[in-house]
Amino acid sequence: MPNDAIYMSKKTACLAVTYSHSSWDKYWENSLRRENLNIGTHTTQSVMPMLAVGITKNFNVIAAVPYIWTQASAGNLMWQKGFQDASGWLKYRFVNVAGFSLHAIAGGSIPVTNYIPDFLPMSIGIRCKTATARLLVNYRHQSGVYLTVHGSYIFRSNIKIDRDTYQADDKLYDSDQVRVPNAYDAAARLGYLKKGIQAEAYAEYGACAGGDFIRRNDMPFPTNNMKSTTVGVYAKYQPKNIGVNARAAHVVSGSNVGQSTAFSAGILYQFRYAKADKQL
C-alpha cells in the first residue's frame, strides 16, 4: 500500500481486489453534527483493483482505479456510479538500518470518466487532478511489532463544473472553474507483521488547507474545508501466493464530512513477473 513500509521484492508483483462499504446517517455541517431526513442513510460502495510491482527491493510502483457507486435511503437524489480516478504511486526506501526505515512516496491521480463533481454527497469524487508527497517513518522490532507514522501534502487542481455561476467563501463567482483547496494528512499505525500475518490499529487525520463550510441546510461543495479523524483496524493473512485482508474504520470527529463507518475485504495474489536472477 502507499501508506505502509511493506515492499514487493524484485521482479515480483501483487494484485489485490478490494470491496468497500461505507455509510453514514449523520454528518457535520461545519461543526454542527446533524442528520438529514431527505438523505436518510448515505452509502458508498466500491470495487478497486490494485497492482503493486517490485522494481527493486527498495523501489515499488503501485497503481489502482476504483469503480464506485453511491446511494441514499431516502429522498430523490439520483444515485451516481462509475470509474473514478486512476492513481499511481512510487515508493522508495532510502534508509533501512536496524529495523528503522525511511520512505519517500510520491503519487498522483487523474479522473478517468466525466462524472459530476459538484453533486455532493452523491458524487463519486470531485474530479480534480492530484499530486501527493509523503514521508513515512517505520520501526519494526525483530518480534514483528512495528510502528509507522507518515504525513502527506496533496496538491489539487481546479475543476470545471456544468454551470456558469456558483457560491463559495460567501461570494458569488461568475465562472465554471472551481478552485479546490489543497489537503494534508497524517497517520500513526501500531501493528504486528510476521510469517504471513499482519494486524494493526491506526488513527488518521485529514484536512483541507483552507476552504469554506457547508451553508446551513445546503449541500456540500468541492470548496468545503473537509476534516476528519478516523480510527480503525486492519488485518491480512497471506501465508503463500494467495491471501486475504480486511479493514474496519470509523470517523470519530470531523467538519463538513459524514460520520461514516466503513468495512472492506479483499483478496491478494502474489506472482513473479520475470525470472529470478541466476545465482553465481
CA pair distance 200, 202, nearest whole angstrom: 7
User: Phi, psi at residue 78, to the nearest 5°?
Assistant: -70, 135
Which CATH number belongs to the domain containing residue 25 in this structure? 2.40.160.40
Domain that holds residue 193: 12-272
Domain assignment present for 26? yes
Q: Is the dihedral of CA 191, 194, 199, 203 positive or negative?
A: positive
Domain assignment present for 187? yes
Domain assignment present for 278? no
Locate 169 and state its grid cell. 467563501
Q: Is the pLDDT of residue 76 over 60?
A: yes
**Per-residue confidence (pLDDT) for residue 279, from 0 to 100:** 52
CA pair distance 122, 80, nearest whole angstrom: 6
Answer yes or no: are the C-beta atoms of 27 and 258 closer than 8 Å.
yes
Domain assignment present for 4? no
What 8-state DSSP symbol labels residue 41? S
pTM of the model: 0.92
Give whole-number Cα distances, 132 to 89, 137, 149, 237, in Å: 9, 16, 16, 29
CA pair distance 38, 264, nearest whole angstrom: 27
Domain assignment present for 280? no
Name the band, by pLDDT with cuts 50, 70 and 90, for residue 89: very high
**Per-residue confidence (pLDDT) for residue 179, from 0 to 100:** 93
SS3 26: coil
Locate 172 and state its grid cell. 458569488
**To 10 degrees, the CA torsion angle through 81, 250, 73, 79?**
-10
Name the band, by pLDDT with cuts 50, 70 and 90, for residue 217: confident
Higher pLDDT, 76 or 182: 182
pLDDT digit string, tens, across residues 103-114: 999 999 999 999
Domain assignment present for 208? yes
The mean pLDDT of the chain is: 94
CA pair distance 232, 145, nearest whole angstrom: 17
CA pair distance 87, 253, nearest whole angstrom: 27
Name the band, by pLDDT with cuts 50, 70 and 90, for residue 278: low
Domain assignment present for 6? no
Burial class (CB in 10 A: 0-12, 13-18, 19+), 186: middle
Q: What is the mean pLDDT of residues 37-57?
A: 95
Count of structural domains within the chain: 1
pLDDT digit string, tens, across residues 193-215: 998 899 999 999 999 999 999 99
pLDDT digit string, tens, across residues 1-38: 999 999 999 999 999 999 999 999 999 999 899 999 98
**Per-residue confidence (pLDDT) for residue 94, from 0 to 100:** 95
User: Phi, psi at residue 134, to the nearest 5°?
Assistant: -135, 140
CA pair distance 256, 250, nearest whole angstrom: 16
